[in-house]
Amino acid sequence: MKDFKAVIFDLDGVITDTARYHYLAWKRLAEAEGVHFDEAFNEHLKGIDRMGSLELILASSPRSYTDAQKLALATAKNEHYKELIATMTPADLLPGAVDALDACRAAGLKIGLASVSRNAFTVLDSLGITGKFDYVVDAGTIARGKPDPEIFLKAAHELGVPPADCFGVEDAVAGVASIKAAGMYAIGVGDPRVLAQADVVIPDLAAFALD
């Protein structure tokens, strides 16, 4: 790993498990719209931005929606999600997260965050780790979500490091695809059978090691 100059982490499912709060918020919305929503359905939303996730859910709805109605539903989901994450603390950091960030800093790597959440800064503040990142890219600053490479390319640009000198850390198929499309080395966090496009897969950040 000595040739890399920067690392770009995903947030949800890597640093902390906000995924469960998204799941609860989407489930309430989906069922209110007559759509069955379970863990299997939720897997298809991982790494997808808010409006993209909403479109996938509403595709299974018996109703039709105007753009204004879709925006209202997305806003309602986000308000519920913000209520849920308001209770987060540093205890919600996933195992190994802080050690991984500190190891990257000690190795002289620049550290970025690439999150499709528009609430990334709120979550980082709640977790007490905002200062561990040199630059944060969230959904509010990009035009295209994962698997498009834009979010990782923007992070690399803002860190001042060529994409080829960066590696990304992701738990979602769309996220890994985004890293690879950006021309970066990809570390997957989760199941190697699911994250087959990653260059290497670890079970969680407790297994993260720069060597």
Give the residue numbers of the binding site for Mg(2+). 10, 12, 170-171
Q: Where are the alpha helices (DSSP H) in the chain?
A: 19-32, 39-43, 50-58, 67-85, 97-106, 120-127, 150-159, 173-181
Nearest-angstrom CA–CA distance, 93 and 154: 25
Residue 67: partners with Cβ closer than 8 Å, 6 or more residues away: none
Contact 179, 196 (CB under 8 A): no
Query: Locate tokens 């199941």: which residue?
Result: 191
User: Annotated catalytic sites, by residue?
Assistant: 10, 12
Give whole-number Cα distances, 20 to 6, 17, 183, 198, in Å.
29, 6, 30, 23
CA distance 168 to 21: 24
Do you know the residue count of the chain?
A: 211
- Inter-residue contact 81 to 118 (CB < 8 Å): no
- Binding residue numbers: 10-12, 26, 45-50, 53, 77, 115-119, 146, 170-171
33, two tokens:
């719209």
Angle at 188 between CA 2 and CA 58, to 5 degrees: 145
